[in-house]
Amino acid sequence: MRAELKRFHPIDFENWHYWPDNIQEFGFPAEAIIGKKGGSGEEIFSFWVCTPKWFAKNKMDKPQFVRHYLFVNEYDEETIKLFVTNMVNGVTGKTWNEISERLSRYMFSEFEDYQPYVKK
């Protein structure tokens, strides 16, 4: 089974209508809608796209591990889209849960840490 990127966009801007004031210092939250290749189901994965300069100014108030961030040197919409598309489309697994787990190493899954309700 293989993952497929269905849609990918900045959260705060419609249809990539975004241009940073400084292409070497920016950050925005994004969503990737991903499902099984050729399938109809979808899951939302979120992450930040930013430059190291932006991250240092906006998120580095203390030491931390970094997860769910895509670092780029400058804003290039096509390069960002291609990178995310290639990464997602290269993820495989025996089940969707395996694929989702692997994608969660890079992006925040809408079902991350989900625990099904068990009636007691």
DSSP codes joined into one string, 58-95: HT-SS-----SEEE-SS--HHHHHHHHHHHHHT-B-SS
**Residue 117: inside a domain, yes or no?**
no
Residue 120 lies in a domain: no
Alpha carbon 50 to its chain's center: 12
Residue 115 lies in a domain: no
Query: Does 60 map to a domain?
Result: yes
Q: Which amino acid is at 114?
A: Y
- pLDDT surpassing 90 at residue 45: yes
Within a domain: residue 31? yes
79 in a domain, yes or no?
yes
Distance CA 26, CA 40 (A): 34
Residue scoring higher pLDDT (5 or 17): 5
Predicted structure pTM score: 0.85
The amino acid sitting at 72 is V
**Predicted pLDDT at 119:** 82
DSSP 3-state of 9: strand
Number of separate domains in the chain: 1
Identify whether 25 is part of a domain: yes
Domain extent, residue 50, equals 3-109
**27 part of a folded domain:** yes
pLDDT at 99: 95
Q: Which two tokens stand for residue 106?
A: 């890079």
User: 115 pLDDT exceeds 80?
Assistant: no
